[in-house]
Structure 1
Amino acid sequence: MHTDREHCVRAVQSKDARFDGWFFTAVLTTRIYCRPSCPVVPPKPENMTFYASAAACQQAGFRACKRCRPDTSPGSPEWSGRADLVARAMRLIADGVVDREGVPGLAARLGYSTRQVERHLRAELGAGPLALARAQRAQTARVLIETTRLPLADVAFAAGFSSVRSFNDTVREVFALSPTELRARLPQHDHAAPATPGTLQLRLPFRAPLHPDNLFGHLAATAVPGVEEWRDGAYRRTLRLPYGHGIVALAPAPDHVACRLTLGDLRDLTVAISRCRRLLDLDADPVAVDDQLRTDPLLAPLVDKAPGRRVPRTVDEAEFAVRAVLGQQVSTAAARTHAARLVTAHGDPVEDPAGGLTHLFPEPAALAAVDPAALAMPGTRRATLTGLVGRLADGSLHLGVESDWAEARATLLALPGFGPWTVEVIAMRALGDPDAFLPTDLGVRTAARRLGLPATPAALTARAAAWRPWRAYAVQHLWATDSHPINSLPA
């Protein structure tokens, strides 16, 4: 979008927050870059130039605006709605892969050479993977500077910098302030130590509107005891992270999602934030989605009633695939019971002083080692589960953010016990495909019949062609016509 100069200028002049994260405005006279909705008086159009990423702005010698803080914009919806090389690479960079494994590790996960990855990212974003990861490290550092009392040397390494010098240089270059100056700008009360060491209070931004009912209602209603819970107006769960584990509490607010993170290792901060944003679909473009779905006159009243519905996703793709199998042809309560048994028997225990979380969900390797006879479920589902965890454990099935959606679907369909419903549920919530569709789902068909839409799978699929590429969001609207607890915030 940053190449459409006329469109970008109009967005900046109207301070349109919808485009925050889609592109960045660099001001040639001040050498500052901003988000489109920056509250300052817009510069003259001839003094504006546009970039696709904060990293490209930084590479061109611009520093972040201190008013609008463009580094804290919602992420571009491009990366959550596409399955091409660049989108997959951006999801991996957000998940911290470059910091942990370097550019060769990123390329290996994508199945391309480092040169190919570099070329594609530079062509679309104006920056390579190292620059993109560096911009992300700078934002992580700022979060730690402003929300913890960690010594700045510890902040440097927690944010992923290899040295204090590179940390100081990057922060000064990006924010035009040293780390010490950034911390000194905070009000004095913000320097108070958190109640729990390793705990951070964050605000996760999103593009308005956001309808939280089905998003948080679904997560709360399907919560696996010990791993997830709804407590004090927040969805809480344990997180398995690269350097340790964490616990997160997420609560909807009018203009952000409140996020309280407790981490065993602060190096996991970037990954934890990325996974929470993915879980809540916070980088979606709800206006584009809703506008497309409103073109169907039978869907339009649903969209008008609850604009900004998101697709509840997951923080752990393998976990969700296992839970999808456990939920085949059983009630929500029965699926939770089956999952809770696995968690108690095979999950890693954790301590949660603030609530009732007790375990991390078991890893595929742990479940693959379980004697199938010990699984309390019908034989066909037992075979389906063991086939799935075996392929996940040996690496022949990939469901992570780097996954090729078509390839993952084909691999899943080849497994015993996997039909279109299970595959599409996994595509929707684990892979993150915004166009995943469930025409055979009973709730979808019931809602379709009630609205006057075709109710047979083939006819409904044909009608839903007009909803593409946002059919997963249409499913949320159809499910929401029912009174099931997944569709409302818990009391």
Structure 2
Amino acid sequence: MATQTAPLWRDTERCYRAVTARDQRFDGQFIMAVRTTGIYCRPSCPAITPKAQNVRFFLTSAAAQTSGFRACRRCLPDAVPGSPDWNVRADLAARAMHLISDGFVEREGVPGLARRLGYSERQLGRVLTAELGAGPLALARAHRAHSARLLIELSALPLTDVAFAAGFSSIRQFNETIREVFATTPSQLRAASLRRGRRAEPTGSTRLSLRLPFRAPFDAQGVLRYHASRALPGVEAVEERAEGITGYGRTLRLSHGPGLVWLSPQPDHVRCDLALTDLRDLGSAVSRVRRLLDLDADPEAVARVLGADPVLAPLVTKVPGLRVPGAVDGPELLLRAVLGSAAASVAALGSQVPPGEPPMDTLTTLFPEPAVVAAAGVKPHVKTVAAALADGSLDPHVGRDPGELRAELLAFGINADYILMRVLGAPDVLLTTDPAVRRSAAALGLALPGAARGWRPWSSYATRYLQTFAPEENLS
């Protein structure tokens, strides 16, 4: 994994330069708070740049909120791509943030989060406060506030329903949090969104249309083609026209019931249409979709490192903003990997979901749970892996320690690096045994892994470049 360096948000001089330039590339990588106004902003906020002596920098919005700052209503600092730091880092704080953004605290509380990460509540709180400036409850509170704002502004749900859908335990807690974080009331937030014309067209109480931001450049066609080439009928669907892939959808297994998602790339965002059984799953669904498309990546940082290699530089120039495809569900991805070509037939064993409205009407099936796969007529190795997933002895979730998960996967004879790259979003994985990578390396005269030393911490992106430009296999 990557060697850690000093975090960006502690480099006040560099952060202030980014703020002065209103550089959008740094949105989501740190928070700027202004002492004189009590407000925190994204680095690219269009407001007048405050004096350097009046500014503080934080890694997370939760840390800024804990220090008494309120979110800027002009730049909406929570509506930006997530920090790429969580993928580069593999420590406890980063793994906790993956689970918190997936709504884990709302479902199982801080004790459940600590158990899942293998730490005591006290240890977890101490580490998160030291690393991120806020404890798990404050981080989860910031996540709830963001989910609530999405529902307030983009749905017609009654505000009472919004409160519980976002994970708040009471209307009072909901009102107080919105007032503290956004310096306004929920009803005023909704009224302001209507004046700005931000509300999506009504689509029913469980349907939402969201705009998912990303850091440009973004090779949308590349990541969508990857998923489309592996799409399972019923579980996934693809819409393709002459100009390329215009839509990709799939079913989602969420905590409170199945969901459907349809993704359509736009010039400056990805349109995300969701149909959910329960709106409490909104935050988790969005988090999983962002991982699926690697929307929180920092393409500029990747290009600086890989573009410095004279062999890779032409590839980086040809396809800027290439992404590493992720996964919405660890057990599903693992089972599909070990099933190989049999995945399509096994997918038909999944439970049926009510079809959505077009273009989601072809999404009819959830990928089967591990216990169903274990009971099916599959190969012994697949049955063993599925049984381990079913009883919890193998658990590839986004909060896993990479080293521990790697050891477990290798014990089952599984390609661990592939799973780490896609499930955990590990950015520094080189798939040296991948046939396409080997063909590409041979064609470029690269001796792997030695030639890859200069690619760290972005070897996963180098892997994707090599796969993308691999020569066709010679079958003669």
Given that 2:349 and 2:372 are in contact with CA atoms closer than 8 Å, whether structure 1 keeps it comes out as no
Look up the match of 2:388: 391
Paired letter, 2:368: P
Look up the match of 2:162: 155
In structure 2, how many angstroms separate the alpha carbons of the residues matched to 1:482 and 1:254? 27
Look up the match of 2:279: 266
In structure 2, how many angstroms separate the alpha carbons of the residues matched to 1:142 and 1:61? 19
1:403 equivalent in alignment to 2:400: yes
Picking from 19, 36, 48, the partner of 2:43 is 36
In structure 2, how many angstroms separate the alpha carbons of the residues matched to 1:443 and 1:212? 21
Look up the match of 2:455: 467
- Going from structure 1 to structure 2, the CA distance change for 1:309 and 1:53 (only over 3 Å counts) comes to same
Q: Could you tell me how far 1:243 is from its partner in structure 2?
A: 0.6
1:203 equivalent in alignment to 2:211: yes
Paired letter, 1:210: F
Q: Could you tell me how far 1:231 is from its partner in structure 2?
A: 2.4
Given that 1:35 and 1:69 are in contact with CA atoms closer than 8 Å, whether structure 2 keeps it comes out as yes
Picking from 221, 228, 235, the partner of 1:227 is 235
Picking from 223, 237, 244, the partner of 1:215 is 223
Q: Could you tell me how far 1:326 is from its partner in structure 2?
A: 2.1
Consecutive unaligned residues of structure 2, counting only runs of 5 or more, are 1-7, 241-245
Give 3-state SS (helix, strand or coil) of 2:349's partner: helix
In structure 2, how many angstroms separate the alpha carbons of the residues matched to 1:270 and 1:46? 36
Q: Superposition pairs for residues 123-202 of structure 1, below 5 Å? A: 123-187=130-194, 194-202=202-210
- Going from structure 1 to structure 2, the CA distance change for 1:385 and 1:175 (only over 3 Å counts) comes to same
Give 3-state SS (helix, strand or coil) of 1:230's partner: strand
Given that 2:156 and 2:205 are in contact with CA atoms closer than 8 Å, whether structure 1 keeps it comes out as no
Q: Could you tell me how far 1:187 is from its partner in structure 2?
A: 3.2
Paired letter, 2:100: I
Question: Per-residue displacement from partner, 1:139-184 (whole Å, max 9, x unpaired)?
Answer: 1111001111111000000000000111111111111110110111
Look up the match of 1:238: 251
Q: Could you tell me how far 1:483 is from its partner in structure 2?
A: 7.6
RMSD: 1.5
Moved more, 104-113 or 426-435: 426-435
Paired letter, 1:401: V
Moved more, 53-62 or 310-319: 53-62
Look up the match of 1:68: 75
In structure 2, how many angstroms separate the alpha carbons of the residues matched to 1:216 and 1:340? 19
Given that 1:227 and 1:237 are in contact with CA atoms closer than 8 Å, whether structure 2 keeps it comes out as yes
Give 3-state SS (helix, strand or coil) of 1:72's partner: coil
Moved more, 425-434 or 307-316: 425-434
Identity of aligned residues (%): 54
Picking from 301, 310, 317, the partner of 1:288 is 301
In structure 2, how many angstroms separate the alpha carbons of the residues matched to 1:478 and 1:166? 50
Look up the match of 1:279: 292
Moved more, 142-151 or 204-213: 204-213
Question: Per-residue displacement from partner, 1:411-455 (whole Å, max 9, x unpaired)?
Answer: 111115x3xxx222212112321112211211111111222222x
In structure 2, how many angstroms separate the alpha carbons of the residues matched to 1:130 and 1:176? 20
Question: Per-residue displacement from partner, 1:69-128 (whole Å, max 9, x unpaired)?
Answer: 001121111112222111111101011111111111110000000011101110011110
Look up the match of 1:341: 345
Paired letter, 1:62: F
- Going from structure 1 to structure 2, the CA distance change for 1:253 and 1:191 (only over 3 Å counts) comes to closer
Give 3-state SS (helix, strand or coil) of 2:81's partner: coil
Look up the match of 1:105: 112
In structure 2, how many angstroms separate the alpha carbons of the residues matched to 1:46 and 1:415? 56
Q: Could you tell me how far 1:190 is from its partner in structure 2?
A: 5.2
In structure 2, how many angstroms separate the alpha carbons of the residues matched to 1:193 and 1:252? 19
TM-score with structure 2 setting the length? 0.93
Paired letter, 1:216: L
In structure 1, how many angstroms separate the alpha carbons of the residues matched to 2:450 and 2:290? 32
In structure 1, how many angstroms separate the alpha carbons of the residues matched to 2:382 and 2:392? 16
Q: Could you tell me how far 1:347 is from its partner in structure 2?
A: 3.6
Given that 1:348 and 1:361 are in contact with CA atoms closer than 8 Å, whether structure 2 keeps it comes out as no
Give 3-state SS (helix, strand or coil) of 1:185's partner: helix
In structure 2, how many angstroms separate the alpha carbons of the residues matched to 1:236 and 1:361? 14
Paired letter, 1:412: L
Q: Could you tell me how far 1:325 is from its partner in structure 2?
A: 1.2
- Going from structure 1 to structure 2, the CA distance change for 1:297 and 1:156 (only over 3 Å counts) comes to same
In structure 2, how many angstroms separate the alpha carbons of the residues matched to 1:349 and 1:100? 23
Look up the match of 2:125: 118
- Going from structure 1 to structure 2, the CA distance change for 1:405 and 1:350 (only over 3 Å counts) comes to farther
Picking from 20, 23, 39, the partner of 2:30 is 23
In structure 2, how many angstroms separate the alpha carbons of the residues matched to 1:369 and 1:431? 27
Moved more, 193-202 or 251-260: 193-202
Question: Per-residue displacement from partner, 1:454-489 (whole Å, max 9, x unpaired)?
Answer: 2xxxxx1111121112111001111111488xxxxx
Look up the match of 1:362: 368
Q: Could you tell me how far 1:196 is from its partner in structure 2?
A: 4.0
Consecutive unaligned residues of structure 1, counting only runs of 5 or more, are 328-334, 376-381, 455-459, 485-491
Give 3-state SS (helix, strand or coil) of 2:416's partner: helix
In structure 2, how many angstroms separate the alpha carbons of the residues matched to 1:186 and 1:75? 23
